[in-house]
Amino acid sequence: MTHSETEITSGLIYDLLQEQHPDLAGLTIREVAGGWGNQMWRLGDELAVRMPRTENAPDLQRKECRWLPVLAPRLPLPVPNPVRIGEPSARFPKSWAIMTWVPGEALDYTSISRGDHAADTLAGFLRALHVEAPADAPISEDRGDHPKKCTDGFDHFFHAVVPDDLADDVRAVWDDAVAAPEWEGPPLWVHGDLHPANVVVSDGTLSGVIDFGAMFAGDPAWDLAAAWVILPAGAASRFFDVYAHADKDKATIRRARGLAALKSLFLMLMGQNGDRGLPGGKPTWGPAGRAALDRVLQSWYSSPPWP
């Protein structure tokens, strides 16, 4: 699922910098573990080089470089901001980018110990992000739809990873989301891919949000799923109290909970693939996905579906 036709090494990064951004070539280059569409390298203490390794990664990078400077000034958490663009060349055939580095440790490698603070922080971040998007904002091709249009993906993940003893409950959560009314508001700015590998943690709480390649204008339920996918057990209720927008729209919470189940299963499958050594697999995502699924189900057990 991830590949690059060119081996990406520190030597290649140095050569590209010398060729296109020589004023930055003297900074220390260090590879960063993780990443999906992009392989990332630290550049000094404040920058990161993002090298695409999937076919659509350059397009997603261009989207980030176009819109993050618009969004970042009003967001209350650090996010990557483009600093330089790398052009395709004989050394590397795709465009690449130099972004600001967001300090912290990715959540799939650590945990949140200050749950209330993290709930408040995430709610404040999404309140600031979820404003009406302009007419020329990007529309997602592979996410953003109502859950009823995502049943094929859900079924694939469901049959691949759901334990038999949880199958009925997981299916009930999803069916309730499918039955929920659609988003009736204007398209809002949505991160679109909030999960443990795309947020960073410092001092036990959220300290930054990264990887906006999936950003789109649409249904905020895709981000509100993070109440279960990212926050620790028991924090979702506080999150929704602080976020407040969804309090009068129970349908959005129903869709968000179903999408949280979908995302949890995806994380579990990527973890399973990682344990098996398959391309694109992420061993750290499996435990994060199972913990998120447990939180989704606990929410289901403690509060019946809204009418």
With beta carbons less than 8 A apart as the criterion, state whether 92 and 6 touch. yes
User: Measured between alpha carbons, how far is 252 from 180 in angstroms, rounded to an integer?
Assistant: 8
What pLDDT is attached to residue 121? 98
Confidence of residue 265 (pLDDT cuts 50, 70, 90): very high
In the chain, pLDDT over 70 holds for what percent of residues? Answer: 95
Its pTM stands at 0.93
User: For the chain, how long is the longest CA-to-CA vector?
Assistant: 61
Confidence of residue 279 (pLDDT cuts 50, 70, 90): confident
Instruction: Look at residues 258, 280, 259, 260 and name the one whose alpha carbon lies nearest to residue 269.
Output: 280
Report H helices in the chain. 10-20, 57-71, 115-129, 151-161, 167-179, 221-224, 226-229, 236-243, 250-275, 285-302
Q: Worst-scoring range by mean pLDDT, 54-63, 98-107, 127-136, 230-239? A: 54-63
User: Measured between alpha carbons, how far is 194 from 192 in angstroms, rounded to an integer?
Assistant: 6
Q: Worst-scoring range by mean pLDDT, 37-41, 148-152, 248-252? A: 248-252
Angle between helices 250-275 and 151-161 (to 10 degrees): 50
User: Measured between alpha carbons, how far is 107 from 197 in angstroms, rounded to an integer?
Assistant: 6
Residue 91 has pLDDT above 50, yes or no: yes
Please give the angle made by the CA atoms of 188, 189 and 194, to the nearest 5 degrees.
120
148-153: long-range contacts (C-beta < 8 A, 24 or more apart)? Answer: 148/178, 150/259, 150/262, 151/178, 153/262, 153/266
User: Measured between alpha carbons, how far is 229 from 264 in angstroms, rounded to an integer?
Assistant: 7
Kindly state the tokens that stand for 149: 């249009």
Residues in the chain: 307
User: Measured between alpha carbons, how far is 127 from 118 in angstroms, rounded to an integer?
Assistant: 14
Confidence of residue 302 (pLDDT cuts 50, 70, 90): low
Q: Within a 10 A sphere around the Cβ of 217, how many other Cβ atoms?
A: 20
Kindly state the tokens that stand for 174: 């999803």
Write out pLDDT tens, residues 162-217.
999 999 999 999 999 999 999 999 999 999 999 999 999 999 999 999 999 999 99
- Of residues 127 and 249, more confidence is placed in 127
What pLDDT is attached to residue 299? 85
User: Measured between alpha carbons, how far is 38 from 49 in angstroms, rounded to an integer?
Assistant: 9
What pLDDT is attached to residue 280? 80
| Residue in the block written with tokens 């995302």 | 263
